[in-house]
Copies of this chain bind each other. A is one copy, B any other.
Amino acid sequence: QSSVNIYGRLNVTLERSKDGSVTTNDLVNNSSRIGFKGVEDLGGGLKAGFQIEHGFNPANGAASSTFWGRQAEVNLSGSFGMIRLGTFTSEAYFATADYVSMHNHDTGTSADRLYNDANGFNGARKVAYRTPTMGGFVAELAVQEANSAGDRGLDLAANYDMGKLHLGAGFSKLGDDKQIAVRALYEMGPVVVGGYVQRDNVLGGNRTNYRLAAQYTMGATELHANVGAASDVKGLPGSSAHQITLGVNQNLSKRTKVYAFYTRVGDDDKLKMYSKGNLSAVAFGVRHNF
C-alpha cells in the first residue's frame, strides 16, 4: 500500500585525540542514524507525512538513549505551509551553525563546540508552523510544551536563498536562556564561504560566538577550513574559547566519502566549559549515506 523510505548514514572515524592530559586512540561515531519516512498525497495540494529517525553508534552498536530522539514527527502540509507535531531538531540550529559546518555535517569530535542552543537541543513535545517557500524565503516557528518549571521553549528560524547567496537566522528561548544568530553563505564557483554570528545568554551571561567556514572543491576532492571563537561569558573571565578545524574530503560518490580532519579547541577556556582543556584530534573516516 504505502511506500516507506528507509534512509540513513554510517559515519565513523579513527581518531587520535588529546583532551586535557588524556590521549585516546578511538573509533568514533559521527552521528550515524537510520530513519523511516513517507509522504501521502491527500489531493488538493494537501499532504500528510511522517519521519522517525534513530541515532546509533557503529563503534559499539549502542542505540541512542532516547530511541527516536533525533526525530519522531507527523505533519500536514499544503499551500498554507506545514504543521509539524512531535520531536524534531531546532530549525534555528539548522539555519545557522549546522548550515556552515560543511566538512562533516557538524558531527563528532570536529562538531562546532561553541554554538549554544537555548533549550539544550531538546527536540521533544513540539508544535511547529513552517511557511510555504516564497521566492526563496521560508520561515518556521516551533513552540514546545512547557517544562516542569513552567517554561515554554520557542524556536524561530528563517532561510532566504537568492541565487549564490544564502542567508539564514535563528532565535531560540527557554525561560531566561536565549540566543540569536545570523548566517550567510556565498558560492563562488569552486569556492564556498560562509559564517554565522551568535549572541546568546545561555551560560549565565551574555556571550558572542562566531564561525567562518570555507570550502574549495577540485573534482571529487574538497578542502575545508573553519574557525570559530567565543568571547568570555559576561561575568566569567577566562571562559572564552576558539576552535579551528581543517578537513579534506574525497567523495567516492554522492553517497560515500573518505575524509580526514584536524580539529583543535583552544583553551583560553580556563573554566573548561568546552573541553577538558586544549582538545585536539586527528581523524580519518568514512561516511556512507543510504
Contacts and interface: CB of A to CB of B under 8 A. Distances in A.
B87 A124 contact: no
Contacts of A72: 10, 32, 56-61
Given A40-B253, A86-B27, A256-B42, A34 B58 contact: no
A126 B62 CA distance: 14
B12 A286 contact: no
A7 interface: yes
B58 A74 contact: yes
Contact of A86 (B10, B48, B123): B10
Interface string A4-21: 101110111010000000
A32 to B, nearest CB: 8
Contacts of A27: 85-86, 125-127, 145
A81 interface: no
A63 interface: yes
A68 interface: yes
From DSSP, what is the main secondary structure of chain A's interface residues? strand
B67 A56 contact: yes
A146 B258 CA distance: 24
Interface string A98-129: 00000000000000000000000001111100
Interface of A: 1-2, 4, 6-8, 10-12, 14, 25-27, 32, 34, 36, 38, 40, 42-43, 46, 48-50, 52, 56-63, 66-74, 76, 85-87, 123-127, 145-146, 252-253, 255-256, 258, 286, 288-290
Given A40-B288, A256-B42, A286-B76, A59 B34 contact: no
Given A27-B145, A61-B66, A87-B59, A288 B50 contact: yes
Contacts of A66: 60-63
A124 B61 contact: yes
B253 A42 contact: yes
21 contacts: A2-B7, A4-B8, A10-B52, A10-B73, A26-B125, A26-B145, A34-B52, A40-B255, A40-B290, A52-B58, A56-B67, A58-B73, A58-B74, A58-B86, A60-B87, A61-B68, A61-B72, A61-B123, A62-B66, A62-B69, A76-B258
